[in-house]
């Protein structure tokens, strides 16, 4: 099976790669283990210098790197450049704060000197998705490398050029050889890598089935895992909110990355007293979006990443409509080359329809009406997922209820859910476990060692 870059805007195959052979995989694992024995002894100062050098490369080459992303997975070119810059920011954050976040923590026990030490654990396998092909990797790599671990990247098979570019950036930044390696392998070879005793932990961002499979295997081998899986994030709007702003941000929150992000607002739950007004604004905003070539600076919605994703989304919408959902806008593929789907708004979706319970990966918004805050919270929690949630209200009592009662790893009030190097990122329920980013992220793949000196 070849690993190929295919332009989702045109269907053109850009480059193809042979997956690594068994002998090549063995060689990469051997080199990773050897590199760790040297790298673990480097200082925080050295690691910070290399991370800052990586940030310099990302910032100076963001135009070229952004173009690779857009050609491989269809991200709008402006968003692609912004993603590269965000990766540089993560590198600089951990370069500046990593030593402090991993410093020994004294604990008063009344017996001698007691403290907690955070120490690296070894090679970590990262199984990463295509939708943010640079950011997803760097939000793992920056803290992992700063902690003294080494990285093995199994990237999504449709973004091999992004994967190789990231390995090249780490190399050119001055990190020691083999501290970060890309493994061009298929999904069937992941089990072999996880099973290797030299690999100490696994992090995965992706689908529920992939997460369950990885966690199951790693669990049998007693290996640490971090899972960031799907989301069906609610976007709740109450009467005290700035409705025009909520609708404008709602359109952006639903269609960022062409709607292909786990933290996109997918379910719009609106108080009945303002539902008609908000519906008009949301539909108008979605209808006004410019759909087109992602290399065009004016495009707001580009193609979906693969034909399979397009087909899956189309089936979810069609089945939901057959079961009684109303189409307020769109609801179909666009008749043009490439994997394009029309910006879509659905209403009256039955609770057994796909658009109600499943994650929709594309520019499809679903509207719900809530008669009171209790119903809004019930609808928000009526999902197997629990990644992020956005609630719009200027009533402090309502804000407190949403913060306390929404079952999610992240709750944003009067703003869209975003990832930030300073804040932990992760979910509850079937959205996964563990955290990336912030202090919690850098401490996921370390040995939390208790020390007492009598």
Query: Among this protein's residues, is 262 annotated catalytic?
Result: yes
Mean pLDDT on 34-40: 98
pLDDT confidence bin for 15, thresholds 50/70/90: very high
Question: 0.95 exceeded by the pTM?
Answer: yes
Count the alpha carbons within 13 Å of 104 in the hemisphere toward its beta carbon: 9
**Total Cβ atoms within 10 A of residue 289:** 18
Residue linked to tokens 């810059």: 85
Q: If you average pLDDT over every residue of the chain, what do you get?
A: 97
DSSP 18: P
Shared domain check, 175 and 120: yes
For residue 60, with 0-12 CB atoms within 10 Å meaning exposed, 13-18 middle and 19 or more buried, which class applies?
A: exposed
Dihedral sign computed on CA atoms, order 51, 55, 60, 61: positive
Nearest to 160 by CA among 266, 19, 328, 26: 19
pLDDT confidence bin for 443, thresholds 50/70/90: very high
The answer to the question of residue 425 being in a domain is no
* 66 within 8 A of 48, measured Cβ to Cβ: no
Q: Beta strands 105-107 and 113-120: pairing type?
A: antiparallel
DSSP codes joined into one string, 61-95: THHHHHHHHHHHH---HHHHHHHHHHHHHHHHHHH
| Helix, strand or coil, per DSSP, at residue 161 | helix
Shared domain check, 308 and 248: yes
Shared domain check, 254 and 219: no
For residue 388, with 0-12 CB atoms within 10 Å meaning exposed, 13-18 middle and 19 or more buried, which class applies?
A: buried
Q: What is the pLDDT of residue 143?
A: 98
Nearest to 253 by CA among 270, 233, 283: 233
Dihedral sign computed on CA atoms, order 314, 317, 320, 321: negative
Shared domain check, 31 and 13: yes
Shared domain check, 166 and 121: yes
Nearest to 200 by CA among 121, 146, 126: 121
pLDDT confidence bin for 303, thresholds 50/70/90: very high
Shared domain check, 190 and 260: no
Shared domain check, 63 and 93: yes
Structural domain of residue 347, as residue ranges? 233-420
> At residue 404, does pLDDT exceed 90?
yes
Shared domain check, 156 and 238: no
DSSP codes joined into one string, 250-281: HHHHHHGGGG--TTSEEEEEEEGGGHHHHHHH
Residues 232, 76, 145: CA angle, nearest 5 degrees: 75
CA atoms of 83 and 40, how far apart (whole Å): 29
pLDDT confidence bin for 2, thresholds 50/70/90: confident
> At residue 179, does pLDDT exceed 90?
yes
For residue 451, with 0-12 CB atoms within 10 Å meaning exposed, 13-18 middle and 19 or more buried, which class applies?
A: exposed
> At residue 1, does pLDDT exceed 90?
no
Q: What is the pLDDT of residue 6?
A: 96
The answer to the question of residue 426 being in a domain is no
Mean pLDDT on 84-88: 98
With a pLDDT cut of 90, the percent of the chain lying above it is 100
Number of domains the chain contains: 2
Q: Which of 83, 91, 162, 228 is catalytic?
A: 228
Mean pLDDT on 20-33: 98
Sheet holding 113-120, edge to edge: 105-107, 113-120, 446-453
Shared domain check, 243 and 177: no
Paired residues of 365 in beta bridges: 345
For residue 296, with 0-12 CB atoms within 10 Å meaning exposed, 13-18 middle and 19 or more buried, which class applies?
A: middle
What six digits make up the tokens of 182? 């890309």
Mean pLDDT on 373-381: 98
**Total Cβ atoms within 10 A of residue 372:** 11
CA atoms of 157 and 97, how far apart (whole Å): 33
pLDDT confidence bin for 338, thresholds 50/70/90: very high
Alpha helices for 103-242 (secondary structure H):
135-146, 160-172, 190-195, 208-220
What six digits make up the tokens of 284? 């108008």
Q: What is the pLDDT of residue 357?
A: 93
Phi-psi category of residue 426: left, alpha or beta, with phi > 0 → left and psi -120 to 50 → alpha:
left
Q: What is the CATH number of the domain that holds 377?
A: 3.40.309.10
Shared domain check, 248 and 169: no
What totals of helices (H) and strands (E) does the chain contain, helices first? 15, 20
Contacts of 73 (CB under 8 A, 6+ apart): 8, 130, 131, 133, 158, 159, 162, 305
CA atoms of 406 and 388, how far apart (whole Å): 9
pLDDT confidence bin for 402, thresholds 50/70/90: very high
| Helix, strand or coil, per DSSP, at residue 371 | coil
Shared domain check, 242 and 215: no
Mean pLDDT on 266-285: 98
Shared domain check, 313 and 203: no
Nearest to 127 by CA among 164, 154, 163: 154
Mean pLDDT on 398-409: 98
What six digits make up the tokens of 122? 């070894």
Query: Among this protein's residues, is 91 annotated catalytic?
Result: no
Q: pLDDT of 188-247, one tens digit each?
A: 999 999 999 999 999 999 999 999 999 999 999 999 999 999 999 999 999 999 999 999
* 304 within 8 A of 74, measured Cβ to Cβ: yes
Q: What is the CATH number of the domain that holds 99?
A: 3.40.605.10
Q: Which of 262, 279, 358, 436 is catalytic?
A: 262
């Amino acid at each position: 099976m070849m690993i190929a870059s295919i332009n989702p805007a045109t269907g053109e195959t850009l480059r193809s790669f042979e997956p690594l052979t068994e002998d090549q995989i063995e060689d990469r694992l051997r080199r990773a283990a050897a590199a760790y024995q040297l790298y673990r002894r480097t200082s925080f100062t050295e690691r910070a210098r290399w991370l800052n050098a990586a940030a310099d490369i990302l910032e100076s080459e963001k135009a070229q790197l952004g173009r690779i992303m857009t050609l491989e997975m269809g991200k709008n070119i402006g968003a692609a450049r912004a993603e590269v810059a965000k990766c540089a920011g993560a590198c600089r954050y951990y370069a500046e704060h990593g030593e402090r976040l991993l410093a020994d923590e004294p604990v008063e026990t009344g017996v001698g000197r007691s403290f907690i030490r955070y120490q690296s654990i070894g090679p970590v396998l990262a199984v990463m998705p295509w939708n943010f092909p640079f950011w997803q990797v760097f939000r793992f790599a920056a803290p992992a490398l700063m902690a003294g671990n080494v990285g093995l990247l199994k990237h999504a098979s449709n973004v091999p050029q992004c994967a190789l570019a990231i390995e090249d950036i780490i190399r050119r930044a001055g990190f020691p050889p083999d501290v970060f390696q890309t493994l061009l392998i298929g999904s069937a070879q992941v089990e072999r890598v996880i099973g290797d005793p030299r690999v100490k932990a696994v992090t995965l961002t992706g689908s529920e089935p992939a997460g369950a499979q990885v966690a199951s295997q790693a669990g049998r081998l007693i290996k640490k895992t971090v899972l960031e899986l799907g989301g069906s994030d609610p976007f709740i709007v109450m009467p005290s909110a700035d409705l025009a702003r909520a609708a404008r941000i709602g359109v952006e929150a639903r269609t960022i990355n062409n709607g292909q992000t786990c933290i996109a607002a997918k379910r719009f739950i609106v108080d009945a007293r303002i539902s008609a007004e908000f519906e008009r604004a949301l539909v108008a905003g979605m209808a006004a979006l410019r759909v087109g070539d992602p290399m065009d600076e004016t495009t707001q919605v580009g193609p979906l990443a693969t034909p399979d994703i397009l087909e899956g989304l189309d089936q979810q919408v069609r089945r939901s409509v057959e079961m009684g959902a109303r189409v307020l806008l769109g609801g179909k593929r666009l008749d043009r080359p490439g994997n394009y789907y029309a910006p879509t708004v659905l209403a009256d979706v039955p609770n057994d329809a796909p658009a109600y319970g499943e994650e929709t990966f594309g520019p499809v918004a679903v509207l719900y009406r809530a008669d009171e805050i209790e119903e809004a919270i019930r609808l928000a929690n009526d999902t197997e997922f629990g990644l992020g949630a956005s609630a719009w209200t200027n009533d402090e009592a309502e804000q407190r209820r949403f913060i306390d009662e929404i079952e999610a790893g992240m709750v944003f009030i009067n703003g869209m859910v975003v990832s930030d190097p300073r804040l932990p990122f992760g979910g509850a329920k079937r959205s996964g476990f563990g955290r990336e980013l912030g202090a919690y992220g850098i401490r996921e793949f370390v040995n939390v060692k208790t020390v007492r000196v009598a």
